Amino acid sequence: MTTPLHGPAKALRLAAIAATLAALGAGFAYAAGWIGAPRLTPQRIIDTFEAQAGHHPGYRKNHAKGLCVSGYFQASGQATSLSSARVFSQQKVPVIGRFAIGGANPFAPDTAIPVRSLALQLTSDDGQVWRTGMNNPPVLAVSTVEGFYEQVLAGAPDPATGKPDPARLQAFFAAHPESAAFRQWAASYKPSDSFASTAYNSINAFRLIDANGQAHPVRWALEPQAAYAALPAQVDDKQFLQHDLQQRLAQGPLRWTLRLTLADPGDPVDDPARPWPAERRSLDAGTLVVEQVDGPEQGACRDLNFDPLILPHGIEPSADPILAARSAAYSVSFNRRSHESLTEGARP
């Protein structure tokens, strides 16, 4: 054992120790994003939603207006050679779901928003959980998170009109040629009169993993079995789609076919803006049966985060960067609304 240090030698060593601790602290602050160049974070994306649509405590920060449903999924058995996930072989998989319209305003009229979504949780009897959030457009307008953020900014409501500035939107689309497929969809989109007659698309690609560990890039869509009817030109009911769904479910269950579309080698599997050629092989993986509606924001779906990366064994994410960003941003939304529920008693 040596003697303790004193004088300048001690001061020098103490300074070195302090510098070491300060460096570690600074590294931590940098990792947290507290110092350094501002980055695009999931918090910033959610902040932007809230800045544009207003602060609505307790609600989801996007696709804020929706309602909970429940039912089951009945596998056809046709997908069992492509994925080992139990949902594709089990007779009847319990499902919790949520129909919603796009946007961060929970009080928007149902028919004012072109984007409709269906989020599902399928829980198979092996304890595995599959959550998926699907929208009615088959593709996104952008391929990257930065592009998505620019799109959100370009779509900001003009304070004068309360609507997005057409010039800004036009400039955004001009700067993002990858949005061609989305614009084509938007131009030809004829909204149906019901959530029940709407198709919902995974948009992002995933990988089905078969029993041999082989991966099959896939996109999925729920195709409605209810007949299409155009949305009336004039709709006065702000809850038009919710009321319609409640009425239809009072008559009996509603059905969708889960269609899996497989990519060919060379297809863009990591780009949510680019569709695959129409002739790609697809198969009917089973039928989604929605039996019950729980009510607006009431029911089992309310306290779930439909993070699209919650996947069962047998389904894996693609390298699509939007998928990772969705997972990160959904988590921020879930944390915020749970916090609001606690501190403000906000329960939609």
What is the set of active-site residues?
Answer: 63
Site for another protein in 144-203 (CB under 8 A): 145
**What value does the CA radius of gyration of the chain take, rounded to a whole number of Å?**
24
Return the axis-axis angle of helices 145-154 and 321-343, rounded to nearest 10°: 60
Residue 143: which region, alpha, beta or left (left: phi > 0; alpha: psi -120 to 50)? alpha
196 or 208, CB closer to another protein? 208
Tell me how far apart the alpha carbons of residues 174 and 179 are, in angstroms, rounded to a whole number. 9
Instruction: Write down the least CB distance from residue 21 to another protein, Å.
Output: 5
**Residue 17 binds another protein (CB under 8 A):** yes
254 or 273, CB closer to another protein? 273
Tell me the sheet residues that pair with 95.
71, 122
Spell out a b/e string for 133-156, using b for 16 or more CB atoms within 10 Å of the CB, else e: bbbbbbbbbbbbbebbbbbbebbe
Site for another protein in 83-122 (CB under 8 A): none
Reading the block at residue 161, the tokens are 């009109």
291 or 344, CB closer to another protein? 344
**Per-residue binding letters, 300-329, with another protein (x by CB under 8 A):** --xxxx-x-xx------x-x-x-xxx-xxx
DSSP letter assigned to residue 231: P
Residue 236: which region, alpha, beta or left (left: phi > 0; alpha: psi -120 to 50)? alpha
DSSP letter assigned to residue 279: T
20 or 247, CB closer to another protein? 20
Instruction: Write down the least CB distance from residue 82 to another protein, Å.
Output: 22
Considering only 25, 232, 253, 295, the residue that binds another protein (CB under 8 A) is 25
Instruction: Write down the least CB distance from residue 58 to another protein, Å.
Output: 9
87 or 325, CB closer to another protein? 325
Reading the block at residue 294, the tokens are 């729980």
Reading the block at residue 102, the tokens are 């796009």
Reading the block at residue 305, the tokens are 């985060």
User: Is 330 among the annotated ligand-binding positions?
Assistant: yes
Considering only 21, 174, 250, 278, the residue that binds another protein (CB under 8 A) is 21
Binding site for another protein (CB under 8 A): 1-5, 10, 13-14, 16-18, 20-21, 24-25, 27-28, 31-33, 39-43, 45, 127-129, 145, 302-305, 307, 309-310, 317, 319, 321, 323-325, 327-329, 331-332, 334-335, 337-339, 341-343
Give the residue ranges of the annotated binding site. 330
Give the residue ranges of the annotated binding site for heme. 330
